[in-house]
Amino acid sequence: MPELVRVSYGTAIAMGLIRAKLLAKPTTAYLMTYWPGRCSNDCAFCAQARSSRADLEKLSRVVWPAFQIEKVLRALPAGNFVRICLQTIEYPGMLDDVFGLLEAFSLINLPVSVSITPVDSDVLEGFRSLGVDHIGVGLDAASERIFSDIKPDTSWDEVWDFAERVVDVFGHGKAVIHIIVGLGETDKELVDAFIRARELGADVSLFAFTPIKGTRLENLKPPSVERYRKIQLARYLVDIGMEDTIIFEGNSIAGFALSGEELLRIPPAVFMTHGCPGCNRPYYNERPGKEPYNYPFPPKGDEVLKSLGIIP
């Protein structure tokens, strides 16, 4: 078992490892494998990437300090979490570390998610035997057109094949495909990716691109909240088989062919963090005080739609 594990700042506060104020409590314990250097992959948006000059403690805009694993295991119950989510970066011996951590987590009696680069089915079977029930699949770039520039160390087909293997091993809905809005993809490409994921039997978890100083994309602007809301609604409509109600002008979403009554029935959860059960991921993509891209708790759905001008 590794000696150290990284803990997201909010998770560490909830566990009592750091004394600070929490504006929104994480419902999942977000942990990450520890490595003193950078990831061997070079994803253009990532603070951990091998060419990045960003703070090594960061993932997205969140700081992940390292703690002794024994201390983390003792403190986990204090957080009253409903799930453990283990993020991984690529480095020599990473899989050994993951299996060591999963064996330790298996004594805590919480469901576990693992976000990882493509691995073989026998590795997935090993994860499942240790209590893992969901796998995060980092597609990230929703367009094959931009994929190789954003993620040069893997291929578009390899990631989709991995998602299929996850569904084969874990079952329908247990592969959670991570997609980042704002990397240069079109709305149409996003919707096409949502449809492909649904047909595969996978779920989709949306993130907003967050520019991090020191990464290759540090000067790229994040998506507007208005665009992100439309993409959240489009993901929901694809999920329930109503993608025909999405109205495009060119490759951009112009609106939705839904009545006012249908719009008012849209559940507020559409605009919340959508991922593994129990995941709320507060302030992962935005600073406190700003309107969140993914609400950590239910918003008033009609107010969200009014702010977009979708309903009067």
What is the rounded CA–CA span in Å between residue 60 and residue 80?
Answer: 24
Contact yes or no for 111/81 (Cβ under 8 A): no
At 155, which helix (H) or strand (E)? none
Q: Please state the pTM of the whole predicted model.
A: 0.95
What number is the average pLDDT over the span 161-181?
98
In the chain the domains, ranked by start, together with CATH numbers, are 4-308 (3.20.20.70)
What is the rounded CA–CA span in Å between residue 177 and residue 162?
Answer: 10
Report whether pLDDT(16) > 70.
yes
Q: What is the pLDDT of residue 48?
A: 93
What number is the average pLDDT over the span 259-275?
88
Q: What is the pLDDT of residue 302?
A: 61
**DSSP one-letter code for 223:** P
Contact yes or no for 130/100 (Cβ under 8 A): no
- Decide the pairing of beta strands 175-181 and 203-208: parallel
The DSSP line for 204-220 is EEEEE----TTSTTTTS
| Per-residue confidence band for 12, with pLDDT thresholds at 50, 70 and 90 | very high
Q: What is the number of other CB atoms lying within 10 angstroms of the CB of residue 166?
A: 27
Q: What is the pLDDT of residue 150?
A: 98
What is the rounded CA–CA span in Å between residue 310 and residue 249?
Answer: 16
Q: What is the pLDDT of residue 94?
A: 98
Residue range 270-311, pLDDT digits in tens: 999 999 999 998 777 877 667 889 988 887 656 666 666 665
Q: What is the pLDDT of residue 290?
A: 79
Judged by DSSP in three states, 291 sits in coil
What number is the average pLDDT over the span 245-253?
97
The DSSP line for 253-269 is EEEE---HHHHHTS-GG
What is the rounded CA–CA span in Å between residue 306 and residue 146?
Answer: 33
What is the rounded CA–CA span in Å between residue 259 and residue 255?
Answer: 12
What number is the average pLDDT over the span 131-141?
98
Q: Residue 89 is encoded by which pair of tokens?
A: 């970066």
**DSSP one-letter code for 309:** T
Residue range 48-73, pLDDT digits in tens: 999 999 878 777 768 889 999 999 99
Q: What order do you get walking across the sheet with 66-68 strand by strand?
A: 66-68, 4-7, 28-33, 83-87, 112-116, 132-140, 175-181, 203-208
Share of the chain above pLDDT 90, in %: 81
What number is the average pLDDT over the span 127-150?
98
Contact yes or no for 223/179 (Cβ under 8 A): no
Q: What is the pLDDT of residue 310?
A: 63
What number is the average pLDDT over the span 199-211?
97
Amino acid at 46: C
Helices (H), the chain: 9-15, 69-75, 94-105, 121-129, 144-150, 156-170, 187-200, 225-239, 260-264, 301-308
Report whether pLDDT(162) > 70.
yes
Report whether pLDDT(312) > 60.
no
What is the rounded CA–CA span in Å between residue 280 and residue 301?
Answer: 17
Q: What is the pLDDT of residue 262?
A: 86
Angle of helix 94-105 relative to helix 121-129, nearest 10 degrees, comes to 20
Residue range 95-130, pLDDT digits in tens: 999 999 999 999 898 999 999 999 999 999 999 999
Tell me the residue length of the chain. Answer: 312
**DSSP one-letter code for 221:** P
Report whether pLDDT(143) > 90.
yes
